[in-house]
Amino acid sequence: MSTRRILTNLTENGAQAVNAFHPEIVNEVVQNIESNKVLVVGMAYNPHCSGVCKALTAAGVEFKYLEYGSYFSMWNQRLAIKMFTGWPTFPQVFVNGALLGGEADTVKELNSGSLFDGLKKK
Ligand SMILES: N[C@@H](CCC(=O)N[C@@H](CS)C(=O)NCC(=O)O)C(=O)O
């Protein structure tokens, strides 16, 4: 049994409500996923967001960073992003058009994976 079955089984009203929830933010994220090999979507004051940016920089990976609010602002805009990606926290890191995950997933991949091969400065 899929635990996400509601996401693929929306009524027309439900789908319209989801699509109308901060589409300008979701569209901006989508455009940046498509136009940047590595995209970090984050929020201010979140140590996982600064941490993942530091880890990517130390590894010589170029990336674009988009920031939406902080612990004190833009909750709804961040919720729209979470509803779109299905990822519950920030940062959200995208590589070559696909969601990789958060800071922990990115650091693990930088240390022992091959996803960033070819994206590191020589
Ligand atoms: N395990 C996650 C930790 C990220 C995390 O827990 N972020 C929290 C803030 S510290 C978050 O985004 N909470 C949801 C929100 O504030 O919108 C990672 O490695 O990226």
Pocket test for ligand 1, best of 48, 83, 94 (most atoms within 8 A of CB): 48
The predicted pLDDT at position 84 comes to 94
Spatial contact of 45 and 97, defined as CB atoms under 8 Å apart: no
The predicted pLDDT at position 121 comes to 82
Both tokens assigned to 115: 């996803």
Whether 46 lines ligand 1, by a CB cut-off of 6 Å, is yes
Please report the domains of the chain, with CATH numbers, ordered by start residue: 5-112 (3.40.30.10)
What is the pTM (predicted TM-score) of this model? 0.94
- Indicate which residue's Cα is closest to atom 2 of ligand 1: 102
| Closest by CA position to 7, among listed 95, 114, 106, 85 | 85
The predicted pLDDT at position 4 comes to 76
pLDDT in tens, 61-93: 999 999 999 999 999 999 999 999 999 999 999
Residues of the chain predicted below pLDDT 50: none
Both tokens assigned to 90: 């920030």
Distance of CA 76 to the CA centre of its chain: 15
Spatial contact of 30 and 38, defined as CB atoms under 8 Å apart: no
